[in-house]
């Protein structure tokens, strides 16, 4: 079901004929696009690894002043959708466009993808192993390099690949900052010329690129098992490294990163918000957009969850490769660019399901396809909260399977499933490219209004939408940070 649009995309591309494909594919423009997209992904990934690992180490393993605050600040950039960050930067600094502008904005927005798993891995890493290394005469730095860092490698690799996938699929920021990458080019080809074959071929190349990354991701994850802790035993807190005279400069460095990632968007929005809200006729427009966003996202979340429930249950309860792949599913959601899904559903709607075309239903379907992996991951994680042994016990106490479901399984799983639904709902609200491609003519959501206003440099008019969207995205970010333990672990250790 999730693959339907992709299959359709491939079929339609193939129909265009080999000659036409080659004609579209082997052009200077495609080569330039590929080079630029790959370069952007590489630069942003490298920057995120440096920022993410550095922040995680300073927060998790040193006596950095204010590290609890920095622990939270490190996760927060996820709450700023990249197109909003791009909007605030371009409206603050005139002429802040091009490759490096995109690189800066995307790095500042996506380094939490590295920071969060690494800070969790630092927390999980066996303190006893480090104590042993120290007792065998290794200094703290050598211990970190030889014992801790190898344990972090899977987390770093996983985070870096997420960033790379994210850069490949990002549309809003690169389009606003006028950096021509695949997603922007696909949208332009479709939006301006209705250049069907061109858009399809470009989309196929993009899918190929993400597939390459996904395969790489799978390869690194298979090696993870080696780093698992051997044996049980109580967890002890880690020894923190004393920074000495470097304490203040280190804190200052993190403060600058936070200021760039969060301060610029916050200040800019605050400055323009008043002007945006007081613009004549803005309030009804905002209300209409918010209403549209809410209804479409609610429908999207409901459909997604409906499809995800049986799959999630199956994944969580069926042992074997299915369950092992459950975690991988959350990566998959980052691997299907919204532009591609949107585009393939446009063609699907026009040619196969015409009654759906130009209705909210097709948009709802797009959300379901895009965020199904996210919801499946949430459902299976929630079901794992109710281990089968609890059901065994309940049955041994004479309760029928239906009673067991109602009194044990459901109470334990519903909170997790509800959180998953909220996450999907809020992610739908933020979604830009598929919404732009599939919304019925005349229907505007918060995200599309922001896009329209920014496109014509009406920054003040765009600000209220941006502010609303940031407020909404902060909620799932908080969930994510709480679940990865970035917040909790810092409270436990001193």
Q: How far is CA 407 from the centre of its chain?
A: 35
Answer yes or no: are the C-beta atoms of 202 and 185 closer than 8 Å.
yes
DSSP letter (8 states) at residue 62: B
Closer residue to other proteins in complex, CB, 23/391: 391
d(CA 345, CA 395): 46
Minimum separation from the CB atom of position 416 to other proteins (A): 12
Minimum separation from the CB atom of position 310 to other proteins (A): 23
Closer residue to other proteins in complex, CB, 3/410: 410
Minimum separation from the CB atom of position 384 to other proteins (A): 13
Closer residue to other proteins in complex, CB, 10/408: 408
d(CA 376, CA 372): 6
Which spans of this chain sit near other proteins (rule: CB under 8 A)? 387, 389-390, 392-401, 403-404, 407-408, 411-412
Closer residue to other proteins in complex, CB, 230/397: 397
Closer residue to other proteins in complex, CB, 137/398: 398
Grouping H, G, I as helix, E, B as strand and the rest as coil, residue 241 is strand
Buried b (16+ CB within 10 A) or exposed e, 330-361: bbbbbbbbbbbbbbbbbbbbeeeeeebbbbbb
Instruction: Select from 292, 249, 215 the least CA-distant residue to 468.
Output: 292
Closer residue to other proteins in complex, CB, 303/404: 404
Minimum separation from the CB atom of position 394 to other proteins (A): 7
Instruction: Select from 77, 75, 81, 78 the least CA-distant residue to 430.
Output: 81
Instruction: Select from 275, 155, 149 the least CA-distant residue to 220.
Output: 155
Closer residue to other proteins in complex, CB, 230/232: 232
Answer yes or no: are the C-beta atoms of 350 and 8 closer than 8 Å.
no
Q: How far is CA 264 from the centre of its chain?
A: 21
Q: What are the Cα distances from residue 205, in Å, to 31, 229, 292? A: 11, 40, 33
d(CA 375, CA 315): 12
d(CA 120, CA 113): 12
Minimum separation from the CB atom of position 403 to other proteins (A): 8
Answer yes or no: are the C-beta atoms of 91 and 459 closer than 8 Å.
yes
Token pair in block for residue 476: 């799932």
Minimum separation from the CB atom of position 235 to other proteins (A): 15
Closer residue to other proteins in complex, CB, 286/394: 394
Minimum separation from the CB atom of position 466 to other proteins (A): 40
Minimum separation from the CB atom of position 360 to other proteins (A): 37
Closer residue to other proteins in complex, CB, 34/385: 385
Minimum separation from the CB atom of position 419 to other proteins (A): 15
């Amino acid at each position: 079901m999730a693959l339907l649009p992709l299959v359709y995309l491939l079929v339609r591309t193939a129909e265009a004929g080999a000659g036409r494909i080659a004609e579209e594919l082997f052009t200077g423009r495609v080569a330039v696009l590929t080079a630029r997209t790959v370069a952007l992904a590489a630069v942003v990934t490298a920057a995120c690894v440096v920022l993410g690992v550095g922040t995680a180490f300073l927060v998790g393993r040193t006596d950095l002043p204010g590290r609890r605050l920095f622990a939270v600040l490190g996760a927060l950039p996820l709450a700023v959708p990249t197109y909003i960050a791009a909007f605030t930067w371009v409206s603050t600094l005139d002429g802040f466009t091009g490759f490096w502008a995109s690189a800066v904005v995307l790095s500042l927005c996506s380094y939490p993808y590295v920071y969060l798993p690494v800070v969790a891995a630092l927390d999980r890493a066996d303190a006893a192993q480090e104590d042993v290394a120290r007792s065998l005469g290794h200094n703290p730095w050598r211990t970190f390099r030889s014992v801790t860092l190898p344990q972090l490698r899977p987390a770093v690799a996983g985070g870096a690949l997420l960033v790379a996938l994210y850069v490949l699929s990002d549309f809003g920021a690169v389009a606003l900052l006028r950096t021509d990458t695949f997603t922007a080019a696909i949208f332009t080809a479709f939006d301006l010329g209705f250049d069907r074959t061109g858009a399809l071929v470009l989309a196929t190349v993009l899918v190929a690129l993400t597939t390459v990354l996904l395969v790489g991701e799978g390869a690194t994850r298979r090696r993870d098992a080696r780093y698992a802790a051997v044996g049980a035993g109580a967890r002890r807190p880690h020894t923190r490294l004393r920074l000495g005279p470097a304490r203040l400069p280190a804190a200052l460095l993190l403060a600058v990163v936070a200021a760039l990632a969060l301060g610029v968007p916050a200040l800019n929005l605050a400055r323009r918000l008043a002007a945006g809200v007081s613009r004549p006729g803005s309030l009804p427009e905002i209300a209409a957009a918010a209403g549209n966003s809410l209804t479409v996202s609610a429908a999207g979340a409901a459909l997604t969850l409906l499809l995800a429930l049986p799959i999630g249950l199956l994944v969580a309860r069926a042992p074997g490769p299915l369950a092992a792949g459950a975690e991988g599913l959350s990566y998959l959601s980052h691997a299907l660019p919204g532009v591609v899904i949107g585009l393939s559903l446009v063609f699907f709607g026009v040619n196969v399901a015409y009654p759906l075309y130009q209705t909210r239903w097709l948009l709802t379907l797009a959300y379901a396809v895009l965020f199904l992996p996210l919801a499946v991951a949430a459902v299976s994680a929630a079901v794992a909260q109710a281990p089968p042994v609890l059901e065994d016990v309940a049955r041994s106490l004479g309760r029928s399977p239906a009673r067991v479901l109602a009194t044990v399984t459901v109470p334990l799983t519903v909170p997790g499933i509800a959180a998953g639904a909220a996450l999907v709902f809020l992610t739908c609200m933020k979604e830009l490219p598929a919404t732009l491609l599939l919304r019925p003519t005349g229907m505007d959501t918060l995200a599309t209004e922001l896009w329209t206003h920014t496109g014509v440099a009406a920054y003040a008019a765009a600000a209220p939408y941006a502010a609303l969207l940031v407020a909404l995205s902060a909620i799932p970010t908080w969930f994510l940070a709480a679940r990865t333990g970035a917040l909790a672990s810092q409270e436990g250790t001193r």
